[in-house]
Structure 1
Amino acid sequence: MFSKKRLAATAAVATTAALVLAGCAGGSAPEDAAPTFDPNEKVTLNLAFWGNDVRADLYNQAIEAFNEEYPNITVNSTFLTFPEFWEKRQTEAAGGGLPDVMQFDYSYLRQYSENGLLLDLDPYLGNIIETKPLDDKILKIGVVDDTTYAIPTSTNAWGMYTNPVLLEQAGVDEFAGGSWADYTEWMGEVTDAAGGQFYGGADYTGRIQNFELQLRSEGKNLFNEDGTAGFDEKRLKKFWEEGQDIRDGIGIPEQTVEELKPLGGFDSAKTASELTWDNFGAGYLANLGASYTELGLVAPPVTKEGAKDLYLKPSMLHAISANTKHPEAAATLVNFLINSPESGKIFGTNRGIPASSTALEAADLDPLSTQIKDYEESIADRLGDAPPVPIVGYGSLEEKFRVLGTELNYGTVTVDEAVDQFFAEMDVVLNQ
């Protein structure tokens, strides 16, 4: 963490952010601009994040610790639920009034950066924002068009949760790894042994992330940096056809899934496995109830041995508004919230497994968090660089993919019809 003395030194070489409004090019800090941050000057920053009262209390503690180091920087924080948070940001973006520092979601990073709404953080990396505690793969996550616009607070990876209680009841061993066909076969063994009480899993072809995993193993992206798709109709058809045996009785029926809402099959103890992001574990345990004290967590099936198909995804990031009047002070706050031991102690794993090694070392990890940390270390050989930052409109395509997966399970569309519908939707999104 940077002290006030070191901040004063870095302020002498730090650069100023250009003021930009929505839709304008910019957000960079010119190298010849004069520094505007005096470490003794009283500065006020606005900080916005999404979450609940628990997270708000943690941020208040972090701000209090930050002010012990930087008493001249006043931080005013506000929080909302996730949907309300982004509704508020869209309104502010239209008027050029985004908060100085924002908790940020990966799916919005390209949209906001390409519209000139976020500050170029590259001039602050290695001086105000420490980079040694952050792996290069983590730093690359916040890069759009060769410019760093955000820093991950925490990471997660795609994995497979399993239910040890159900597997014991079924008398089936943990999934030992293997291909997607091996996984389908294992699910079938669990479903048969359960005798209708529960199922081995759900149709994995309903999740676009599993499709992405297979594409990455083939050296392709789901969506390329230029916004084009990394697959064609034939490849998507092949993927959805893989799920036919699961839809024919191996996986949990879609009608049962519908009846379990708002819970899912896994956290209702109706499926013995779930492919998802590893930071979902705490929610699963909470929903399963007091009789569950642990979960299994193993790597997803392999498409091609040796492929770098997995990657670290940010649970969330921190970004700075391009029109902040105090870029160096804002960068100092971002550094504290991501890298400081105090931040690690305070937040623990509330925001996910800390991306910074100094914050992670200070965090008090519960058994599940330790399990997730160990899991991410165990898949190091499968971790590649993160894919290009999601295209604008990715969220709507992800939802369309899920809806079509649901309809495939109901049998209301054929695979060919689903492929046609998805490509029609994708054509609209990519060309809007």
Structure 2
Amino acid sequence: MKKIIPVLVTAAMLLTTAACSSGPAEPASGGAAGGAAGEPVKLRIAWWGGQARHDYTLKVIELYQQKNPNVKIEAEYATFDDYWKKLAPQAAANQLPDIVQMDISYLSQYAGRGQLADLTPYTKDGTMDVSSISPNALSGGEVGGKLMAMNLGVNALMTMYDPELMKQAGITPPPKNWTWDDFTAIGEKAKAGGKMIGGFAFRHDVFFPYYLRTLDQKMFSEDGSQIGYADDKPFIDYFTMYQKWYDASYLLPLDKEAQKKGTAEEDEVLLGKALWTNGWSNQYLAVANLSKNPLELHPLPGPNGNKGLFLKPSMYFAVTNSSKQKAEAAKFISFFVNDVEANKLIKGDRGVPVSSKVKEALKPLLTPNEAKIFDYIAWAENNSSPMDPPSPVGAVEIEKLLRDTSEQILYKKLTVEAAAAKFRKEANAILAKNKK
């Protein structure tokens, strides 16, 4: 499944209702760089996402500049795939923005190459206020014992479905402890009623590791030097199941999937062609707010879904090592995660807020769709297992390898068994190369 995340010059999914009220006190202005009161400071910040995220992030920036009139912030934004294509040459030229939005798949890569600054000093001197953020939430941004990125919110994997479409297809919504067999059986009924299952194709770099976790296995070994699952049976079982769905036309054909940009507006659930879509909880709102029918959040199938499910940092903000205004950049990130007024604009788009004070302040203000996300995360907190460590360097190459391999399976260029062996061999070679 694509990241339901969106459009160059736009920015992403979720909550955009704006209200205003005073937030908590900010950390003392300045710090090391740009610290003299009133001294002009210029920052660049980059993120990925869709129009909703773009709009409210610019409003948050405007709010920050109103409170800090000496600071001017330039914004850069793109769709998820285009974002990383743009960031890579900037990193190579040592011209990264001061603040970059970071994904867990890339965190080890950028941190391991020395391109991100350790934020620990700023948490210790008060520039970055972490007093209402739990150690677990903070640890999601640690690499090698250093805080390389600030967790902006918590997500969990989910299935989002349209109860009305299910009813029209004669299908009863499944219980929370449903299984992959239930998923397949619903797919058969959906197809008979002219519907698909899946508003987007599965993004295998997300859902295959989930499947492995339900089997008490991991995508990567503990030291990141090789594939983590002991033999190829999980790969074979997962992709045999997926190929069955694809061949039965339960899912969108690859050629049509390739034409999508990943925006909420393209979701087949909204178009009335699919019963549900699968993704991260923070992606729910952009689709739900566009739907004519109320949508519901639901856990992914099991068995052992509680072992597969985990609370994930939805994304991060990191300060780059090339920045000449690190302290001022850290101060903006602190504002972003702690200021109540700002978070009335953000309201969970980048995941349920990590600040307990912000979370409590937002609860009375949530729309029904926003409240569903907060409630689902609260449920997931009690029905999940600890997340895996950040992906090792080389994981992005392996994600592409997995995507390419899955297409070879679905186009019948490789048997599942041959694909499993090929994937293991090439993935291990990538990990070994990056361990040198």
Q: TM-score, normalised by structure 2?
A: 0.79
Task: In structure 2, give the amino acid aligned to 1:110.
Answer: S
Q: Distance in 1 between matches of 2:106 and 2:235?
A: 25
Q: Give the 3 Å change call, closer, same or farther, for CA 202–190 of structure 1 in structure 2.
A: farther
Quote the residue 2:237 is aligned against: 238
% same residue:
25
Quote the residue 2:428 is aligned against: 427
- Rg larger for: 1
Q: Indicate yes or no: 2:381 matched with 1:380.
A: yes
Displacement of 1:146 after TM fit? 1.4
From 107, 110, 130, give the equivalent of 1:109.
107
Quote the residue 1:198 is aligned against: 195
Q: Distance in 2 between matches of 1:225 and 1:75?
A: 43
Q: Deviations over 1:256-275 (max 9, x none)?
A: x6446524554443332333
Task: In structure 2, give the amino acid aligned to 1:101.
Answer: I
Q: Give the 3 Å change call, closer, same or farther, for CA 47–384 of structure 1 in structure 2.
A: farther
Stretch deviating more after TM superposition (259-268 or 381-390): 259-268
Residue pair 1:202, 1:274 contacting (<8 A) in 2 also: yes
Q: Distance in 1 between matches of 2:164 and 2:99?
A: 44
Q: Distance in 2 between matches of 1:375 and 1:167?
A: 20
Q: Give the 3 Å change call, closer, same or farther, for CA 405–337 of structure 1 in structure 2.
A: same
Displacement of 1:188 after TM fit? 4.6
Quote the residue 1:356 is aligned against: 355
Stretch deviating more after TM superposition (197-206 or 60-69): 197-206
Q: Distance in 2 between matches of 1:225 and 1:339?
A: 33
Residue pair 2:196, 2:251 contacting (<8 A) in 1 also: no
Displacement of 1:430 after TM fit? 1.5
Displacement of 1:336 after TM fit? 0.3
Quote the residue 1:63 is aligned against: 61
Q: Distance in 2 between matches of 1:100 and 1:416?
A: 46
Quote the residue 1:165 is aligned against: 164
Q: Deviations over 1:74-100 (max 9, x none)?
A: 132121313444344333322333222
Q: Deviations over 1:305-361 (max 9, x none)?
A: 7x5432222332111122433333222111001111122022224434333333334
Residue pair 1:208, 1:398 contacting (<8 A) in 2 also: yes
Q: Distance in 1 between matches of 2:119 and 2:419?
A: 41
Q: What number of residue pairs does the alignment pair up?
A: 398
Displacement of 1:161 after TM fit? 1.4
Quote the residue 2:370 is aligned against: 369
Q: Distance in 2 between matches of 1:86 and 1:245?
A: 33
Quote the residue 2:39 is aligned against: 42
Q: Distance in 2 between matches of 1:423 and 1:179?
A: 30
Residue pair 1:3, 1:69 contacting (<8 A) in 2 also: no
Q: Indicate yes or no: 2:339 matched with 1:340.
A: yes
Q: TM-score, normalised by structure 1?
A: 0.80
Stretch deviating more after TM superposition (272-281 or 367-376): 272-281
Q: Distance in 2 between matches of 1:202 and 1:102?
A: 29
Alignment of 1:221-236 (within 5 A): 221-227=218-224, 228-231=226-229, 232-236=231-235
Q: Distance in 1 between matches of 2:118 and 2:196?
A: 48
Task: In structure 1, give the amino acid aligned to 2:163.
Answer: P
Q: Distance in 2 between matches of 1:259 and 1:64?
A: 39
Displacement of 1:415 after TM fit? 1.2
Q: Deviations over 1:89-144 (max 9, x none)?
A: 33332233322222223322111111111111112225222223323332121111
Alignment of 1:66-81 (within 5 A): 66-72=64-70, 74-81=71-78
Structure 2 spans left out of the alignment, 5+ residues? 1-22, 261-265
Q: Specify the SS of the correspondent of 1:382.
A: coil
Residue pair 1:223, 1:388 contacting (<8 A) in 2 also: no
Displacement of 1:159 after TM fit? 0.9
Q: Distance in 1 between matches of 2:288 and 2:202?
A: 24
Stretch deviating more after TM superposition (395-404 or 328-337): 395-404
Q: Distance in 2 between matches of 1:374 and 1:161?
A: 14
Q: Indicate yes or no: 2:214 matched with 1:214.
A: no
Task: In structure 2, give the amino acid aligned to 1:209.
Answer: V
Task: In structure 2, give the amino acid aligned to 1:383.
Answer: S
Q: Distance in 2 between matches of 1:253 and 1:351?
A: 28
Q: Distance in 2 between matches of 1:210 and 1:178?
A: 17
Q: Distance in 2 between matches of 1:101 and 1:326?
A: 10
Displacement of 1:298 after TM fit? 0.9
Quote the residue 1:119 is aligned against: 117
Q: Distance in 1 between matches of 2:25 and 2:36?
A: 10
Alignment of 1:111-190 (within 5 A): 111-125=109-123, 127-178=126-177, 180-188=179-187, 190=189
RMSD of Structure 2 on Structure 1 (CA): 3.2
